[in-house]
Structure 1
Amino acid sequence: MSLKATTFADLLAATRHSAVHLEMRDQYAVGDEAEDYAAFLDTGVANTDPAESFWPQWLPLVTNAVARGVVMRRARIVSEPVTDYIRYEHAITVLNLQAGEDVRWLPRRRASDLALPGNDFWLLDGRLVQFHHFTGKGDWAGKEHTEDADVVALCAAAFEAVWQRAVPHEKYTV
């Protein structure tokens, strides 16, 4: 199976132990969130219905992985004061938690001395990195996979350094 053509769902289904995700942008313009994000900007209320938006595709992936014993952790590095997008993301994170992810937030000022990769990534089972590429405006621009040991080590060390400093979701306020 070519990794280039492999979906994230396939990669996560093959994961047995751990899936960690590092997000480092203050704004994303991902198409499947556009309508919910616009409504949040208008009302200040996030849509946290697990049956709507992109959640029906995401939540079963997480719950199935967690049920198999996969530990899923997500860390987000954010500028403060936070952007409207981060306020939205914080508000919908309750669904990530309910599905079994553990989520933490790190104020960017506390990450200045950390060596971080140049892109957001998933690290699966400590062996495969999937980088996410975005345009300057935050639109999706593609993905890239690597199993290069040096890159895997960099991503693992970066994630763990962020995780140790980050604030658990329940204690982080926006």
Structure 2
Amino acid sequence: MRSRYAPAYEGESLRKFLAGEPDDLPWMQDWLSMVREAASEGKRFARVRVMSMPLTDYNRFGLAVSAHNNAAGEDIRYLGRDKAESAALPNHDYWLFDSRKLVRMHFDDADRFLGGEVVEDTAEIVQHNYWRDAAWHHAVRRDDFATEQHLGLV
């Protein structure tokens, strides 16, 4: 949902992206290995990223990097903020695990991740499952989104 995140480990890769320099994304390799292994076992990783237009530099970077996620077996899709708002989606980040465990993400004003809050309220978990399904319904595949935005990242 956010237009920017500020994890320290991405800083050098973001700088290289903005400068047009190649990068092997060392901070991301463990995640990609885990996704590849889990996907080979039939596990599914999927997410929808809500994007404001025009895209921020960070969102363009994330869109470029997501090609690696998708190649590893994660399915990342994109949704414009206007469509998210018209679908009444929430304005916060969260993860659902097996549609049963909800973790709501918290960030400070400088876009740094503060931690995840495990939410156990069943009604709230059901609501977030509904929002996930609505977001997925309206979202487009990563490559299609990149093409629509004329980013040349496909």
Tell me the equivalent position of 2:141: 168
CA contact (8 A) 1:46 1:88 kept: no
Question: Is 1:76 matched up with 2:49?
Answer: yes
CA contact (8 A) 1:46 1:92 kept: no
Question: Is 1:87 matched up with 2:64?
Answer: no
Q: 1:3-152, aligned counterparts within 5 Å?
A: 24-41=1-18, 43-45=19-21, 47=23, 49=24, 52-152=25-125
CA contact (8 A) 1:116 1:155 kept: no
Q: Deviations over 1:33-52 (max 9, x none)?
A: 111112222x13463x2xx4
2:126 to 141, 147, 153: 153
Q: Deviations over 1:82-104 (max 9, x none)?
A: 00000001111111011101111
CA contact (8 A) 1:62 1:99 kept: yes
Query: Looking at both structures, which has the greater relative contact order when contacts are Cα pairs under 8 Å and sequence separation is at least 6?
Result: 1
Equivalences, count: 147
Where 1:91 maps in the other structure, the secondary structure is helix
The CA deviation at 1:65 is: 1.9
Structure-1 separation of matches of 2:110 and 2:22: 22
The CA deviation at 1:71 is: 1.5
Which structure shows the bigger proportion of residues in helix conformation?
A: 2
Q: Deviations over 1:49-73 (max 9, x none)?
A: 2xx4221221122122212211111
Structure-2 separation of matches of 1:137 and 1:110: 26
When normalised by structure 1's length, the TM-score is 0.78
Structure-2 separation of matches of 1:82 and 1:34: 18
Structure-2 separation of matches of 1:46 and 1:126: 37
When normalised by structure 2's length, the TM-score is 0.87
Gaps of 5+ in 1: 1-23
CA contact (8 A) 2:89 2:135 kept: no
Percent of residue pairs bearing the same amino acid type: 35
Pair 1:60–1:147, CA change in 2 (3 A): farther
Aligned partner of 2:82: which letter?
R
